[in-house]
Amino acid sequence: MQAQPKGFSYAFKQQIMKAWQPVPTLNSTIILFATMSLFFLIMGIVLISYSNDIATQEFQYDSYCSAQNSDCVIQIALDSNYKSPVFFYYQLTNFYQNHRRYVKSKSPSQLSGTDLSESELDECDPVVTNDEMGKTSSVTNEPLKKEEKAIPCGLIAKSYFNDTFNLFQVINNTKTEIKISSNGIAWPSDLDGRYKNIDLNRQWIDMEDERFMVWMRTAALPQFRKLWGKIDQDLEAGIYEVQIKNTYNVSSFNGKKYIVFSTTNAFGGKNEFLSIAYICVGVVCCVVTLGFLIRKFLSKADQKKNR
């Protein structure tokens, strides 16, 4: 019988390839953990420094705007100057967007512009028709038939946050409107074909509206912020007036509503948790390094005694 050539393929299949396994020594372990300690501590301090430079304030407004489907006005005071762009968020509490049934209740195909039949919209259960969506008129004010499919359908779309805001700067009783733009607030992947209109005469909302796209990205935690718009000018510290169209009902889930002003930096928005996490890991690595150093010195002392 002819002998099989013992090349790379043979060694790989027979699991007899040469192997190398690092054997950590006490010195290499000390160097590794000391390096990790320095890295995480430095990163944590840098992140804290950057985070402290971010201006952010939040204002609860549902207690002032208690009547649903009404207009209300609140005055707020910004404590510091905000460099553009200033990001304007809304924040909800006690809203569990991560519930499995809620997350699954949408039709990606319909959202991307495919005109599906009602029988093809099982994913949207339990909100498939206009009647279940609670909508009677389209974007173009055309009447919608109750029994027809809702465009878009699903629980996520039905719970769309629909409060609106207008911002004014108040100086010496003179109000100047500050424009809040929705351009560029959605992710590029959402803008690139993930959301397309089918027929505005049959849709209860414009699916290419970036605020709608932002809402459709479900949050992981029950308290979350979503971007409502950007302010492309500096905001000086002082008094501002926010005119609110109060439509969204949070009493059904005992929630609260806030508006949030924030700036960003190279690492994103204000995130104290990340910097604290880095520092904690750095401290743990430092403690481990000290432990190995003590062990090293004790080992040397024992060796001297045994000589």
Domain at 54-99+161-266: CATH code: 2.60.120
Q: What average pLDDT score do residues 25-38 get?
A: 92
| Domain limits, the chain | 54-99+161-266
Q: What average pLDDT score do residues 141-161 get?
A: 97
The answer to whether 48 and 283 are in contact (CB under 8 A) is: no
Q: What is the length of the chain?
A: 307
pTM: 0.82
Q: How confident is the prediction for the chain on average, in pLDDT? A: 92
Dihedral angle at the C-alpha atoms of 153, 158, 161, 162, nearest 10 degrees? Answer: 90
- pLDDT at 289 > cutoff 60: yes
Confidence of residue 213 (pLDDT cuts 50, 70, 90): very high
Mind listing the pLDDT tens digit for each residue in 187-210?
999 999 899 999 999 999 999 999
pLDDT at 139: 96
pLDDT at 163: 96
pLDDT at 122: 93
